[in-house]
Amino acid sequence: MEEDDEDAIYNIEDKRLDSLPVTSKEISQATRTDPVLSRVLEFTKSGWPAEVRDERLKPFFNRRHELSTEQDCLLWGLRVVIHYKYEKFILGELHDAHPGIVRMKEIARSYVWWPNIDRDIEQTVRLCASCQQTRHLPAVAPLMPWVWHSSSWHRIHIDFAQKNGHDFLIVIDAYAKWPEIFHMSSTTANATITVLQDLFSRYGIPYQLVSDNGLQFTSEEFQWFLNVNGVKHVRVAPYHAASNGAAERMVQSFKRALSSSKSSVRSLQQRIDSFLLTYRTTTHATTGHTPASLFLGRELRTRLSLLRPDVERKVVNMQSNQKLHHDKQTQLREFYAGEDVLVKDFRCKETWWLATVAERTAPKSYVVILQDGRVWKRHVDQMRRAERSTSSHSQNSRNGMHTSADQDTDMSDLASIPVFIPTAETAPVVGSQIPQTERTHAPPSNITSGEQTSQSATPTVTADSSASPKPLRRSSRVSKPPDRLIETME
Ligand SMILES: [Zn+2]
């Protein structure tokens, strides 16, 4: 191959590797703005006319009963209709691991369509220099003497393949046609066993293992390994290698893919991985399913999957949007030390007191200091933001706050909530009782004040104890203290 040709190939591969995959978003954008596709989109949504004159519309008209739309992408069956500006790119994706014409069409059938796509695929393979050099003769139809087991990993076929001085251990599951390929630095029985042990740890131990009579497979060591694991070894006669067909064919297409991609800038391992992903996600001619769906029970997500606007992704997107929104809202429910808050009084329904946040003890727990110095522990749900402005409009009031307002009082309601800021005359009335449910963070001390003595908490982070709301007697507090309080203080 000429140097220039090689460079050309590098460039193409590099460009594609560096580019992000095309997504349904770009497809829908292109569909909406294309003069032909936008009309198809409209017709599909609102109904087709009895006939169309425009030649460009005809391929779509002929398929009109199978067309549908999803998030402004056009779908023919499950295949996304591709705008011509992405055709080349998609052809590159489809030809990623240099599959032949048949396989390429097979992959396309699960993802994409545009008028004349089959012709374009044929041309791509014909124009691919790598593919042309490694064109193989049609394989002799292999014998299929094996009993069809309706479960995967029941029987596996293994074989060694050599290419360009590299050795590969090929393993393929007979039922699902699930392939595994290992680049081997050694082909001894020991090295083979190491790989199989790894495989068995992932997928379990198969019932049967089919191989040819390679030295490593007939060795005592290998026999022993299979025996202790209860694997039946089926050896195919050397002159009958075709009966190990499953592995054989895989080997052939792998070798072909490897030759075709040899000028790639990708590492050998990357090319192996690329081949495996393509093979596993392409419908297999024998089974009519992808190896992935039979082996894993699900389809694998590939770069091509992004082309398909799917409901699932839409839902996920919506959910993440909701979460974002929710998170935004909950972000507001966060308080900082020194911030004024209203905290719920457990002893008295719908009673809230003005307090200052002292400390955040857990993501949703705070220690707050009431105006009278009491220290309470509160969950974020039992706290509300108190706006600074409240204190300004209640200048001459006293500072303890109490409200019998509705549960969901927002801050705008605060204006109507009585706010008390004790003055020298009304204060100090310390020693309000600490609710039974409360635990203070400071050692309790007895403070005598006025006619009342009771347990009180003297917080370490003490607020001015002279600024205290009127204490409340526990007995009177339970049923109707708010009114009383307001009355007394007014
Ligand atoms: Zn190719």
Angle of helix 189-203 versus helix 220-228 axis, rounded to 10: 20
Residue 5 CA, ligand 1 centroid: distance in Å: 14
Residue 94 CA, ligand 1 centroid: distance in Å: 10
Residue 7 CA, ligand 1 centroid: distance in Å: 15
Residue 164 CA, ligand 1 centroid: distance in Å: 18
Closest CA to 180 of 162, 208, 166, 159: 159
Residue 304 CA, ligand 1 centroid: distance in Å: 18
Residue 47 CA, ligand 1 centroid: distance in Å: 41
Q: Tokens in use for 47?
A: 């109904």
Residue 253 CA, ligand 1 centroid: distance in Å: 12
Q: Tokens in use for 184?
A: 């081997």
Residue 330 CA, ligand 1 centroid: distance in Å: 54
Pairing of strands 340-344, 383-385: antiparallel
Note the Cα 244 to chain centre separation in Å.
Answer: 40
Residue 8 CA, ligand 1 centroid: distance in Å: 14
Residue with tokens 């066993």: 193
Residue 280 CA, ligand 1 centroid: distance in Å: 18
Residue 366 CA, ligand 1 centroid: distance in Å: 65
Q: What is the pTM of this model?
A: 0.47
All residues at 6 or more sequence positions from 163 whose CB lies less than 8 Å from its CB, including other chains: 255, 258, 259
How would you write the pLDDT of the chain (490 residues) with one tens digit per residue? Answer: 333 333 333 333 334 444 567 788 888 899 999 999 999 999 998 889 999 999 999 999 999 888 888 888 888 887 889 998 889 888 988 887 788 888 888 888 878 899 999 999 999 888 887 777 766 544 443 333 444 556 889 889 888 888 889 999 999 998 888 999 999 999 999 999 999 999 999 999 999 898 888 899 999 999 999 999 989 898 875 544 455 566 677 788 888 888 887 777 888 999 999 899 999 998 887 778 899 999 999 989 888 877 777 655 555 566 566 655 555 555 557 788 888 888 888 777 677 888 888 888 777 788 888 888 888 888 888 888 876 544 433 333 344 444 333 333 333 333 333 333 333 443 333 334 444 444 444 444 444 444 443 444 333 333 444 444 444 444 444 444 444 333 333 3
Residue 255 CA, ligand 1 centroid: distance in Å: 13
Residue 98 CA, ligand 1 centroid: distance in Å: 4
The neighbourhood of ligand 1, an ion, using CB within 5 A, equals: 98, 128, 130-131, 260
